[in-house]
């Protein structure tokens, strides 16, 4: 029965041979570039240096306190960052969706700024502010030998980096809760606090749990902040795996650590995706309500606004520090303004900047189109193994970059797939790592588009590919462009997987920044960061200019349709 159905589905797919080939090609490339590297990591973890089967790597994990601590520390930081990140994110999202405080637009932009920066920009800012020569610790508070390294440094840096992720997630959740529900609760006599506690909060609970898990996953996967700020007495898994490979040349142990890192990430991902997402309440019906909610009392409004502004100012302080640091001769000692760091950055790093741009410009459109194509396949086509394809395509959400990076060097180091050291391995890695966001937004938009619009195109004589090109693609343009922005930003700012894949020929800005931090040239690192953020901002501006005017109109239509 099941086989018969699969056969039938294949037959239907074959009516459109081009589409069938495309489905096949995408499935195969997902297997090669997503699944195969993970399998390679898994196998390597059970091998000795010369390829014999062994349990030694995991035995070492069980005996060495140091490696166990790495796991414990990573989980600890992940949980703490998750809790505080969600708290801050909810506060920001609630304030900006439920009150009419001034400067909402500006606050929103400040809050999402950390998302478009390389994740360890905050780490550099923290070193400049709280390090041995830190502006605050040494100059203002006069502390000598204050040590920011360890839990507090990583935690502070990650909260700064990932609270914005929580904010964006929870903003979506709170926006999709119909404020009329709150009006209704108050209408039957609930006080403001009761309304929040018994209506708003319970309804946003699945979203809160979901945001927590997303931050937890990102924190576990984070590589840059721990590498800069953890220090040798506070080992963490992701940098430890890297150090085993590049420092001790122990690839099997590195792979085993990667597998250990993968387990909590995948668990959190599966809970988030297959348990929580089904429980999210979306209560938007009819026309969106524009009126400000009455749920926030004047006193609470001031309190919330103060907290939010405080956090925004902290973000501003961090970025200001980077900017000033990039123009300061020697931070903490010689405060004269100088362009030396930029001069140096351009002289040693010009090729790196060029390489980074090439990689980003190549991978962004591929990732964008692939994302829309897969979203289309998942939502609109039936074919055997569709669930597996969907899972594979978004799996990289959950897999820490470190694991992917190790997987790629293991998987693509011999013919016919000898890619190590090439441009292709960087591009492929970025394409398949950052395609899930495009897929997710594509799926969300496609599910809103009436399927009969595509049926109408088929009915008028368009085949599957033509329908996708002439009807579906223009309609999912908003998702397409947001996927593009995300892919570009991530290609510019990613480090955890890329650090394994760069080579003498092809180097990336983020790796360069980390090297400068490593050799203590914080000013140059800051200069590189400024250059990187500037490129990202310009590029995001350009991409949003490209968005056809139709897109805005479709958005309006969709809003009208409710």
Partner 1 sequence: MAELRLVDLVKEFQSFDSPEGKVVAVDHVNLEVERGELVTLLGPSGCGKTTLLRMIAGFEDPTSGDIFLGDRRINDLAPNKRDAAMVFQSYAIFPHLNVFENVAFGLRLQNLTEAQVQERVNRVLELVGLTELARRSPDQLSGGQQQRVALARAIVMEPRLLLFDEPLSNLDAKLREQMRIEIRQLQQRLGITSVYVTHDQAEAMSISDRIVVMNHGRIEQVGPPLALYARPRNRFVAAFIGDVNFISGEVVAPGRVRVLTETFPVADMPESLRPGQQVTLTLRPESVELLSDPRSPQSQFSGEVRRVTFLGGMVEYEVQAEGLGSLVVHASNPILRGVLRRGDHVGLHIPPAALHVLP
**Contact track, partner 1, 14-33, x by CB under 8 A:** -xx-----------------
Q: What is the 3 state secondary structure string of 37-67?
A: HHHHHHHHCCECCCCCECCHHHHHHHHCHHH
Q: Tokens 């995300």 belong to which residue?
A: 486
User: Given the rule CB under 8 A, which of 189-197, 405-413, 437-445, 468-476 is the region that contacts partner 1?
Assistant: 468-476
Number of residues counted as binding partner 1 (CB under 8 A): 28
Residues 6+ apart with CB under 8 A from 62: 68
Q: Could you say whether residue 553 binds partner 1 (CB under 8 A)? A: yes
User: Given the rule CB under 8 A, which of 142-150, 237-245, 287-295, 463-471 is the region that contacts partner 1?
Assistant: 463-471
Using the minimum distance from each CB to partner 1, give the nearer residue, 475 or 539: 475
For the bound state, the minimum distance from the C-beta of residue 72 to partner 1, rounded and expressed in Å, comes to: 44
Backbone angles phi, psi at 397, to 5 degrees: -55, -40
* Residue 259: both structure tokens together: 């597998």
- List the helix and strand counts (H, then E) for the chain: 27, 4
Query: Footprint of partner 1 on residues 102-161 (CB under 8 A)?
Result: none
For the bound state, the minimum distance from the C-beta of residue 445 to partner 1, rounded and expressed in Å, comes to: 12
User: Given the rule CB under 8 A, which of 136-144, 161-169, 387-395, 447-455 is the region that contacts partner 1?
Assistant: 447-455
Q: Could you say whether residue 448 binds partner 1 (CB under 8 A)? A: no
Q: Could you say whether residue 40 binds partner 1 (CB under 8 A)? A: no
Using the minimum distance from each CB to partner 1, give the nearer residue, 15 or 187: 15
Q: Could you say whether residue 382 binds partner 1 (CB under 8 A)? A: no
Binding partner 1 by CB under 8 A: which of 168, 344, 463, 535? Answer: 463
Kind and range of the H or E run holding 487: helix 477-493
* Residue 159: both structure tokens together: 């909260």
For the bound state, the minimum distance from the C-beta of residue 21 to partner 1, rounded and expressed in Å, comes to: 16
Using the minimum distance from each CB to partner 1, give the nearer residue, 17 or 520: 17
Residue 380, number of CB atoms within 10 A of its CB: 17
| Closest-CA residue to 183 (of 98, 102, 101) | 98
Using the minimum distance from each CB to partner 1, give the nearer residue, 19 or 238: 19
Q: Could you say whether residue 340 binds partner 1 (CB under 8 A)? A: no
CA distances from residue 90 to 84, 109, 172 in whole angstroms, order as listed: 10, 16, 11
Contact between 376 and 468 (Cβ < 8 Å):
yes
| Residue 400 backbone zone (phi > 0: left; psi -120 to 50: alpha; other: beta) | beta
Q: Could you say whether residue 461 binds partner 1 (CB under 8 A)? A: yes
**Contact track, partner 1, 472-511, x by CB under 8 A:** --xx------------------------------------
Binding partner 1 by CB under 8 A: which of 470, 518, 519, 534? Answer: 470
Contact between 407 and 42 (Cβ < 8 Å):
no
User: Given the rule CB under 8 A, which of 162-170, 287-295, 399-407, 470-478 is the region that contacts partner 1?
Assistant: 470-478
Length of the chain: 562
Binding partner 1 by CB under 8 A: which of 457, 485, 498, 514? Answer: 457
Using the minimum distance from each CB to partner 1, give the nearer residue, 273 or 558: 558
Tell me the C-alpha distance between 88 and 81, whole Å.
10
Tell me the C-alpha distance between 138 and 130, whole Å.
8
Tell me the C-alpha distance between 319 and 316, whole Å.
5
Using the minimum distance from each CB to partner 1, give the nearer residue, 198 or 553: 553
Contact between 311 and 108 (Cβ < 8 Å):
no
Sign for the CA dihedral angle at 42, 46, 48, 50 comes to negative
Q: Could you say whether residue 289 binds partner 1 (CB under 8 A)? A: no
* Residue 25: both structure tokens together: 């090609």
Q: Tokens 């994740």 belong to which residue?
A: 119
Query: Footprint of partner 1 on residues 210-239 (CB under 8 A)?
Result: none
Q: Count how many Cα atoms sit within 13 Å of the Cα of residue 216 in the half-sphere of its side chain.
A: 23
For the bound state, the minimum distance from the C-beta of residue 463 to partner 1, rounded and expressed in Å, comes to: 5
Binding partner 1 by CB under 8 A: which of 6, 330, 456, 552? Answer: 456
Tell me the C-alpha distance between 359 and 485, whole Å.
14
Using the minimum distance from each CB to partner 1, give the nearer residue, 260 or 471: 471
Rg of the chain on CA atoms, in Å: 25
User: Given the rule CB under 8 A, which of 10-18, 181-189, 218-226, 297-305 is the region that contacts partner 1?
Assistant: 10-18
Using the minimum distance from each CB to partner 1, give the nearer residue, 176 or 466: 466
For the bound state, the minimum distance from the C-beta of residue 453 to partner 1, rounded and expressed in Å, comes to: 5
Tell me the three state secondary structure of residue 233: coil
For the bound state, the minimum distance from the C-beta of residue 384 to partner 1, rounded and expressed in Å, comes to: 15
Q: Could you say whether residue 6 binds partner 1 (CB under 8 A)? A: no
Using the minimum distance from each CB to partner 1, give the nearer residue, 294 or 470: 470
Query: Footprint of partner 1 on residues 45-104 (CB under 8 A)?
Result: none
Tell me the C-alpha distance between 138 and 122, whole Å.
18
Identify whether 416 is preceded by a cis peptide bond (ω within 30 of 0): yes
Query: Footprint of partner 1 on residues 351-380 (CB under 8 A)?
Result: none
Q: Could you say whether residue 10 binds partner 1 (CB under 8 A)? A: no
Q: Could you say whether residue 514 binds partner 1 (CB under 8 A)? A: no
Using the minimum distance from each CB to partner 1, give the nearer residue, 103 or 474: 474
Contact between 66 and 235 (Cβ < 8 Å):
yes
Annotate 395-414 with DSSP letters as a single string. Answer: HTTTS-HHHHHHHHHHHTEE
Q: Could you say whether residue 556 binds partner 1 (CB under 8 A)? A: yes
Using the minimum distance from each CB to partner 1, give the nearer residue, 8 or 139: 8
Tell me the three state secondary structure of residue 336: strand
Using the minimum distance from each CB to partner 1, give the nearer residue, 16 or 340: 16
Kind and range of the H or E run holding 334: strand 334-337
Q: Which residue ranges make up the site for partner 1 (CB under 8 A)?
A: 5, 8, 12, 15-16, 450, 452-453, 455-463, 466, 470-471, 474-475, 550, 553-554, 556-557, 560
């Amino acid at each position: 029965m099941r086989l018969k159905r699969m056969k039938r589905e294949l037959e239907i797919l074959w009516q459109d041979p081009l589409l069938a080939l495309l489905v096949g090609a995408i499935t195969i490339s997902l297997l090669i570039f997503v699944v195969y590297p993970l399998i390679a990591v898994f196998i390597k973890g059970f091998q000795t240096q010369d390829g014999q089967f062994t349990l030694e790597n995991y035995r070492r994990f069980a005996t060495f306190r140091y490696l166990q601590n790495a796991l414990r520390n990573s989980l600890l930081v992940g949980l703490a960052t998750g809790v505080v990140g969600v708290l801050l994110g909810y506060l920001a999202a609630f304030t900006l969706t439920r009150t009419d405080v001034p400067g909402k637009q500006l606050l929103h932009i400040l809050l999402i700024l950390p998302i478009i920066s390389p994740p360890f920009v905050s780490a550099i800012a923290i070193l400049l502010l709280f390090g041995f020569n830190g502006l605050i610790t040494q100059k203002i508070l006069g502390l000598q030998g204050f040590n920011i390294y360890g839990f507090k440094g990583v935690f502070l840096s990650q909260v700064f980096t990932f609270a914005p992720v929580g904010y964006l997630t929870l903003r979506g959740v709170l926006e999709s809760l119909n404020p009329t529900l709150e009006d209704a609760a108050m209408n039957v006599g609930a006080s403001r606090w009761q309304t929040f506690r018994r209506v708003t909060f319970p309804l946003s609970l699945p979203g809160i749990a979901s945001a927590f898990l997303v931050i937890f996953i990102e924190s576990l996967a984070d590589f840059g902040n721990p590498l800069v700020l953890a220090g040798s007495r506070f080992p963490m898994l992701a940098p430890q795996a890297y150090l085993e490979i590049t420092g001790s040349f122990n690839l099997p142990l590195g792979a085993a650590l990667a597998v250990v890192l993968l387990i909590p990430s995948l668990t959190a991902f599966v809970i988030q995706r297959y348990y929580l997402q089904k429980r999210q309440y979306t209560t938007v019906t009819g026309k969106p309500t524009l009126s400000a909610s009455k749920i926030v009392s004047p006193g609470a409004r001031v309190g919330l606004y103060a907290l939010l502004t405080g956090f925004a100012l902290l973000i501003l302080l961090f970025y200001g520090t980077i900017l000033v640091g990039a123009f300061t001769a020697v931070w903490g000692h010689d405060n004269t303004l100088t362009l030396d760091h930029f001069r140096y950055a351009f002289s040693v790093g010009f090729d790196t900047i060029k390489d980074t741009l090439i990689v980003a410009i190549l991978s962004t459109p591929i990732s964008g189109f692939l994302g829309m194509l897969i979203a289309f396949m998942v939502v609109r086509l039936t074919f055997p193994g569709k669930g597996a394809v969907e899972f594979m395509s978004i799996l990289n959400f959950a897999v820490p970059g470190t694991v992917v990076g190790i997987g790629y060097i293991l998987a693509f180091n011999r013919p016919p797939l000898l890619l190590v050291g090439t441009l292709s391995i960087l591009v492929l890695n970025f394409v398949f790592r950052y395609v899930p966001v495009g897929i997710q937004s594509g799926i969300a938009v496609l599910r809103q588009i009436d399927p009969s619009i595509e049926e109408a195109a088929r009915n008028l004589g368009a085949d599957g590919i033509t329908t996708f090109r002439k009807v579906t693609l223009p309609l999912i343009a908003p998702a397409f462009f947001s996927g593009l922005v995300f892919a570009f930003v991530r290609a510019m700012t990613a480090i955890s997987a890329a650090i394994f894949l760069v080579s003498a020929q092809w180097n990336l800005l983020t790796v360069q920044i980390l090297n400068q931090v490593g050799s203590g040239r914080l000013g140059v690192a800051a200069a590189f960061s400024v250059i990187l953020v500037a490129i990202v901002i310009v590029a995001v501006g350009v991409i949003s200019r490209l968005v056809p005017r139709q897109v805005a109109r479709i958005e309006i239509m969709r809003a009208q349709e409710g």
